[in-house]
Structure 1
């Protein structure tokens, strides 16, 4: 694990940076698969940023199901009592959407513990109640079927795959209305700083386009455009 820890200032900054801009910054650094596939916000309009705390499921088996309600050994329940402040619960459900991975009671519990969001490439149960929580949740689908019909929890806070993206514990997980991007912890500081600058530039470019300015030399910006942008920034 690396040393980056999210601050309140960084969380505020990230709430104004799109996952598209962050993904582009990762691609510049050789990370071509940082944006999760098939994972969508349960309630667009919310944003999320925190460190990954992972939960991994394998396919269910009957002898394992029979022990599922032992809260002292059930890894899912242990994870709910281990995830904490500034963390995002990332659930590796193998992209199985036929059954839920958790529901509203567990979501309320982890939010009370300070967890800042949930991401899974599987389904969730109780989605109407989850949507009403105004809690950042990203999922592959909705299913009323309980998790034990298809899933067995085996590990927490280990490397997982979610939405066809590798997730390491403590990676920075950022979500917006488009989806979720995973930023390696060691790259987080430089990616945030670069993406914040790029987002400001692109917002300025949009305003220029609205005035009727053509794209040539504007996007991508040539040296003259960059100078104009810097002059505008200095005037603010």
Structure 2
């Protein structure tokens, strides 16, 4: 499934979700940042991968007893075993963290299968254990009850909504210490390149501001002298 080229992946690992949101906004895309999800571990590198999706609906008690987990074709189990290496499992939990979308055992399995990360607009159980894993994981808040109490896994790798954002299979998902942004697949390469360039300029601006410069004429660069100074800085910095 994964078609994201390594050059684009590496660029996205070095830029912020804030910068990506600005690049997307320039193209008229205003609603790509997943709302109300947070990383369990802010010390990991950026999460980057193509979306592989799982959708929950409200549980119906007669169809959602604990025994459903014995079924090897259960959508949640299939998601964990089929999400491709390098992809991101994105879960539509209807923005409801009262029951867990998954727990540490399933997330550990995803990690061992070299999945790039996991995102839910619901909650994870065993969140302290998940926070110690080396896989990026994003959720709304901790939630101890099993997903079966409120959520019924119903569809695998269909378009979903996660935190008020439309997520299509294959969209490029990027997460950092602030949150998660979704990039339409056909824009990923150009967004990554633009964001990488924006990051170089923002690093220059930050250095100037910390040296006492005013933002006027600097950010945005409305003064010709700013462009000259940036070019000189960039050459000296080898960037």
TM over 0.5: yes
- Deviation, 1:95, is 0.3
CA distance in structure 1 between the partners assigned to 2:201 and 2:3 by the alignment: 26
CA distance in structure 1 between the partners assigned to 2:154 and 2:14 by the alignment: 36
* Aligned mate of 2:20, from 19, 22, 28: 22
CA distance in structure 2 between the partners assigned to 1:70 and 1:64 by the alignment: 13
Q: Name the counterpart of 1:233.
A: 234
User: More displaced, 60-69 or 13-22?
Assistant: 60-69
Alignment of 1:45-64 (within 5 A): 45-46=43-44, 47-64=46-63
Q: Is the 8 A contact 2:159 2:168 kept in 1?
A: yes
Q: Name the counterpart of 2:158.
A: 158
Q: Name the counterpart of 2:130.
A: 130
- Deviation, 1:8, is 3.7
Question: Is residue 84 from structure 1 mapped to residue 97 from structure 2 by the alignment?
Answer: no
Q: Name the counterpart of 2:10.
A: 12
- Unmatched runs of 5 consecutive residues or more in structure 2: none
Alignment of 1:66-215 (within 5 A): 66=65, 68-215=68-215
After superposition, the C-alpha distances for 1:166-225 in whole angstroms (9 at most, x for unaligned) are 100010000000000000001101100000000110010000111111111101012331
CA distance in structure 2 between the partners assigned to 1:166 and 1:69 by the alignment: 28
Q: TM-score, normalised by structure 1?
A: 0.95
Q: TM-score, normalised by structure 2?
A: 0.93
Q: Is the 8 A contact 1:68 1:148 kept in 2?
A: no
CA distance in structure 1 between the partners assigned to 2:113 and 2:230 by the alignment: 43
* Aligned mate of 2:30, from 29, 32, 37: 32
CA distance in structure 1 between the partners assigned to 2:171 and 2:30 by the alignment: 16
- After TM superposition, where is structure 1 displaced by more than 6 Å over at least 4 residues in a row? none
How many matched pairs?
Answer: 234
| SS of aligned partner of 1:230 | helix
Q: Is the 8 A contact 1:84 1:110 kept in 2?
A: no
- Deviation, 1:165, is 0.5
- Deviation, 1:10, is 3.2
CA distance in structure 2 between the partners assigned to 1:162 and 1:29 by the alignment: 21
Aligned Cα root-mean-square deviation (Å): 1.5
CA distance in structure 2 between the partners assigned to 1:102 and 1:35 by the alignment: 22
| SS of aligned partner of 2:49 | strand
